[in-house]
Amino acid sequence: METLIWIGLGVALAAIPGYVAYYARHVVPTRRDELREILTPQVAACYLAVFRPGTRISSNHVLQVLRRFEDFHRPSRYLRLGLFAFLPSAIGLVAVAAWILAVGSESTTGAARIPTTAIFAFLGGWVWSLYEVIDRGTRRTLVPDTLADAAFRMLASVPLGYAFSLLVMQSVMPFLAFAISAFPMRDVRLYLNKRALEQLKFVGSPPAAPQQERLQDRVPAIGTDALAQLREVGITTVTDLAYADPVRILVETGLPLRRVVVWIDAALLANYVGENVAKLRAMGIGSAVEASHFFVDYGSYEGDDGERLIDDDKTLDDEVMQLAEVLGIPAWFVLNLLAELHGDPHVALVDAFWGEGVGDCEVVEA
């Protein structure tokens, strides 16, 4: 019996560090390779121009972006925060094993004096931590900060579970302490967010500024599951999504990068035109990149110095006049709006993702 307990202790001690080591060694490189397949030198240059402006960049733009991805998965952070999570885990599991042995031998001293409620509370916290690490790994969103969360959960499990267990009869105190400590709060929070977002589809809300509109109102292609994941990382409005770092979203949510770029493209258009986005979609302009291409095709010409200029009213194409009529705003305002959108470096980044590259991306070379 004693041998089995110590074997179980060894397996439990190795569970979290072993899974994290597997994730860092096998899953992270796979995700890095997936990102590398999408990146082209132009995409990487645009990304660096947007998210590292003014920084002197090496000529290998792709490598620089991959290093940005690796910053989220730095081995030193995994090691440091993994150790932070391992210490309370090891201390608690050794105490649990000693308590089981002491109780089994009917001892009344040493580890046997540890309250049963405290033992169950810690086990609940440890089970939650193991579940959270494996669940994040399965979702491909395991980052070093997850290990810090696990450590804090284990440290708080005993006082938290013990406090709540005092509300019930003594006979069920250990079980309640375990249930409270192992309660999957993140999953419940995601579920509640999803349900709230589903309900908002049917319940009206006060009008908001265009850039603060709810994502589901302006980017209808996003499902409630993805919306809940985006909200968890602080992306709740059109502006948040339009100017979000796609690599960060990739790492922290596990959502496919190309799908995220599609949403960013739609959010950028909605951020510029607000409630008129539905009218633009009806005309076949459903994204910021398409609006940018429309401006290049119909709203500008190249001057003597190669700079793109806006035509005057006398030479406007019929397509521009039709667009102005549909939107109900002057043609000159439409062109200025499209010119501003066309010059947005975030639009150029999305454009580069689709391989068109109408926008310009400039980085400072080292």
d(CA 169, CA 298): 76
- pLDDT band with cut points at 50, 70 and 90 for residue 170: low
For 175-192, letters b (16+ CB in 10 Å) and e give: ebbbbbbbbeeeeeebee
pLDDT at 210 over 50: no
| Average pLDDT estimate for 311-339 | 77
pLDDT at 105 over 70: yes
Q: Which two three-digit tokens encode residue 82?
A: 């993994």
What CA–CA distances, in Å, run from 107 to 104, 116, 287, 355? 8, 14, 71, 72
pLDDT at 244 over 90: yes
Q: Which two three-digit tokens encode residue 158?
A: 């005993």
Q: Which positions ≥6 away from 178 have C-beta within 8 Å?
A: 120, 121, 123, 124, 127, 161
| Average pLDDT estimate for 317-323 | 80
Predicted confidence at residue 21, as pLDDT, reads: 92
| Average pLDDT estimate for 268-288 | 87
d(CA 30, CA 22): 12
- pLDDT band with cut points at 50, 70 and 90 for residue 304: very low
d(CA 73, CA 77): 7
Which carries the bigger pLDDT value, residue 55 or residue 347? 347
Residue type, 26: H
pLDDT at 22 over 90: yes
| Average pLDDT estimate for 135-158 | 89
pLDDT at 58 over 50: yes
pLDDT at 31 over 50: yes
Predicted TM-score (pTM) of the model is 0.77
32-39: long-range contacts at Cβ-Cβ below 8 A with a sequence spacing of 24 or more?
32/66, 32/69, 32/70, 34/257, 35/65, 35/66, 35/69, 35/247, 35/250, 35/257, 36/62, 36/66, 38/257, 38/258, 38/353, 39/65, 39/66
Check: CB of residue 137 under 8 Å from CB of residue 144.
no
Predicted confidence at residue 118, as pLDDT, reads: 87
Predicted confidence at residue 209, as pLDDT, reads: 43
- pLDDT band with cut points at 50, 70 and 90 for residue 321: confident
d(CA 312, CA 310): 6
| Average pLDDT estimate for 323-338 | 84
| Average pLDDT estimate for 254-277 | 89
